[in-house]
Structure 1
Amino acid sequence: MTATLARLEDPALIAQVDPAGFHLLLRALPSSAAAAWKMGSEWPLPPSLRTPRKVLFAGVGGSAIGGDVVATLAGVASDIPVQVIRQYEPPPVDENTLVIASSFSGNTEETLSAYEATSGAMRLALTTGGELARRAQRDGVPVFTYSWDGPPRTGLGFGVFATLAILSRLGVFHLPEHEVESTIEALETYTKLWSPEAPANEAKRIGRALYDRASLVIAPGALEVTARRWAGEIAENAKQWALAAGLPEFNHNLLEAAGSGTVAGLGVVLLDSEVAHQRNRLRIRETARLLRDAGTPVEVVELPGRTMLEAIMVGCALGSWSSYYLALLRGANPYPIPVMDGLKARLSEG
């Protein structure tokens, strides 16, 4: 294992597998998060937006993960529900609903469909431009635009912190400035610890543990959003199968099969944190024991973080870096997504 970890520090390997410098986008998460919070805090709130009774966040893929994080935080800190919609058809809305249509490119067909179907609501477009920005400008809908030179999944800082800032200003929930600052500081600290030049770090260890093995990533309570992020990053960056699940739900159905026998080529990652409910932390330990007894390789990963926001964001960063090193080990360029791009091209013809 030591030789493998040392290999991940080799600039020649990084240049060969990652010629576009995908790791530089991962390094930029702290700075993009800080920039996004500042932009969202200073963006002039249009008069068409007021405190909503509910929020719908319409988006898919990398454009939806920010909404996932925000919805998770609102679920534990707000009496105003925030729901993420990953479909063409949104649920019913009214004038007291805020619909945030999020599309990195501005051309995502599911998001455009949801945008058109919610004309009776307050609407906000969150995008770098494209058709969504054009339609919003046509309709007099506010557009929050930003620039990011990378694929949507690497723009997590903007998806989370710009949305958090705007919704905080609209009274959806109160997020203390010091909590945001401590989260960004933690991202800066751990980005240095998990970067390629840092020898034998935790992200490299996890990437090696995941090598050539389909992964089921499980996390407790509100941290389930982090498990979904890990699964998505493993799939997109390393081109390796991964799925996500949450606790305690996993213990009430899937555990019966998982604890009865193993599946060849499957490994489980259990994410733990001090911010998790104590009963869920007990469930993590007991679930790990049952799975190991059944013959399934298990990694229990303790996520840093003193607040829910910090644990989620630092946990997402760890998943991104771990998937990056897994990509290096597999010889898979983490930047392009040819299978998904191919599907989009075929769908555009239909």
Structure 2
Amino acid sequence: MSATRAQLDDPALIGRVDPAGFHHLLRALPASAREAWRLGSEWPLPSSLRTPRKVLFAGVGGSAIGGDVVSTLAGVASEIPVQVVRQYEPPPVDEHTLVIASSFSGNTEETLAAYEASREAMRLALTTGGELARRAERDGVPVFTYTWGGPPRTGLGFGVFATLAILSRLGVFHLPPHEAEATIDALEAYTALWAPEAPANEAKRIGHALYDRAALVIAPGALEVTARRWAGEIAENSKHWAFSAGLPEFDHNLLEAAGVGAMPGLGVVLLDSPVTHERNRLRVRETAQLLRDAGTPVEVVELPGRTILETIMLGCALGSWSSYYLALLRGVNPYPIPVMDGLKARLSEG
């Protein structure tokens, strides 16, 4: 089946493929980010929390990507490390460690296990409710709760901006309010440019370019978190194979496979931005050329943004919109995740 970019300008396509209006959740990212920043800035800090020596962010899936963004920012702007834990067992903790247990539903088994295994640490629950909130209240552990009407992967605004606000207040790093607000303003502006009513926009172009191929998304330096987000969004929203990698590491191992020629059905997206290291920008250009010479389709996407935070968040938003348009072209509803839900059901019986 062929697909044309012009199809994406047809409102009837959204009505057929996206009857629940998943695109409204993508539109709501700026508003949810603004609300999360406000709530995190106003939330009364409990006396049990103080400036930590390290932070562990325990979560998986859509509940972890916010931690990935915060960890990336801490890596370039803080002496206090922030590590994301996507496992049942966290690394060793002590009274100087802050463990943020993040579970959208509050019922994620990996996060609950990590929460229970971190009793020697300062703990904070980040959730909409569920078992995590119940256990935290039982244990006298602070709970930051919020309300969001979509699936976890669409709650990125809360995962990033509530966490940033709280950690900034705890002295993990300093994020000036004007930088957070400028990032949210930029999200509003670019959401209008990438929304369905904007014809022939960049997100539609990318979605169409990925229509008939699996995607390998590569990004340099601090933008690697954005590539990871793209791969997850393409898989969940578009029901399409996608993977991610980072530069310069990709050039020190995986690139060698290009020497045997293109992999059938694979396309590469290379993300770039002025906020990344100049040598990594050179790597983006040269890597793209080597892959093209080997016959691999390559899309180089320069992300907008004036700061690392702004670039990461705009890059994540662009990836979400691109995956949405890919889902429309493939004729798959972006909202449900039946395979993942099926696995959860099987695990609950085991």
Do these two structures clear the TM 0.5 threshold for a shared fold by scoring above it? Answer: yes
Q: 1:60 matched to which residue of 2?
A: 60
Deviations 1:282-309 (A, max 9, x none): 0000000000000000000000001000
SS at match of 1:245: strand
Letter in 2 for 1:5: R
RMSD of the alignment, in Å? 0.7
Contact 1:5 1:199 (8 Å CA) reproduced = no
Deviates more, 1:68-77 or 1:6-15: 6-15
1:108 aligns with 2:108: yes
Partner in structure 2 of residue 9 of structure 1: 9
TM-aligned CA deviation for residue 260 of structure 1: 3.2
Segments of 5+ residues of structure 1 without an aligned counterpart are: none
CA deviation after TM superposition for structure 1 residue 225, in Å: 0.0
* CA positional deviation for 1:6: 2.5
Is 1:179 the counterpart of 2:197? The answer is: no
Matching of residue 248 in structure 1 with residue 240 in structure 2: no
Q: CA deviation at 1:258?
A: 2.3
Distance in 2, Cα, partners of 1:211 & 1:66: 28
Residue 131 of structure 2 aligns with an amino acid whose one-letter code is: E
1:222-237 map, 5 Å? 222-237=222-237
Amino acid at match of 2:10: D
Give the whole-Å Cα distance in 2 for the aligned partners of 1:31 and 1:96. Answer: 34
Deviation at 1:7, TM superposition (A): 1.5
Which residue in the other structure is 1:123 paired with? 123
Please tell me the residue identity of whatever aligns with 2:235: A
Alignment of 1:33 onto 2:22: no
In structure 2, the partner of 1:85 is 85
CA contact (8 A) 1:57 1:85 kept: yes
Q: Which amino acid aligns with 1:157?
A: G
User: Aligned with 1:112: secondary structure?
Assistant: helix
Counterpart contact for 1:33–1:158, Cα < 8 Å: yes
1:267 partner letter:
G
Q: CA deviation digits over 1:92-118, x for unaligned, max 9?
A: 000000000000000000000000000
Q: Which moved more, 1:284-293 or 1:255-264?
A: 255-264
Partner Cα separation in structure 2 for residue 17 and residue 221 of structure 1: 36
What CA deviation, in whole Å up to 9, does each residue of 1:118-147 have, x standing for no partner?
000000000000000000000000000000
Code of the aligned partner of 2:234: I
Could you tell me how far 1:64 is from its partner in structure 2?
A: 0.1
Q: Give the Cα separation in 1 of the matches to 2:230 and 2:105.
A: 22
Q: Residue type of the partner of 2:216?
A: L
Tell me, yes or no, if structure 1 residue 214 matches structure 2 residue 214.
Answer: yes
Q: Aligned-pair distance for 1:238?
A: 0.1
CA distance in 2, matches of 1:264, 1:6: 26
* Contact 1:30–1:157 (8 Å) recurs in 2: yes
Residue 301 of structure 1 corresponds to which residue in structure 2? 301
Q: State how far apart, in whole Å, the 2-side matches of 1:95 and 1:258 are.
A: 48
Which amino acid in 2 is paired with 1:138? R
1:12 is displaced (CA, Å) by: 1.3
Q: CA deviation at 1:242?
A: 0.2
Please say if 1:199 is aligned against 2:199. yes
Q: Alpha-carbon deviations, 1:73-100, whole Å to 9, x = none?
A: 0000000000000000100000000000
Dislocated runs of 4+, deviation >3 Å: none
User: 2:287 — aligned with what?
Assistant: 287
Show the counterpart of 1:328.
Answer: 328
2: CA distance between counterparts of 1:348 and 1:22? 27
Query: Matched residues, percent identical?
Result: 86
Q: Structure 1: how far apart are the matches of 2:158 and 2:259?
A: 40
Q: 2 CA distance for matches of 1:49 and 1:9?
A: 50
Task: State which drifts further: 166-175 or 176-185.
Answer: 176-185
Give the structure-2-normalised TM-score. Answer: 0.99
The correspondence of residues 165-176 of structure 1 with structure 2, limited to 5 A, is 165-176=165-176
Report the TM-score when normalising by structure 1: 0.99
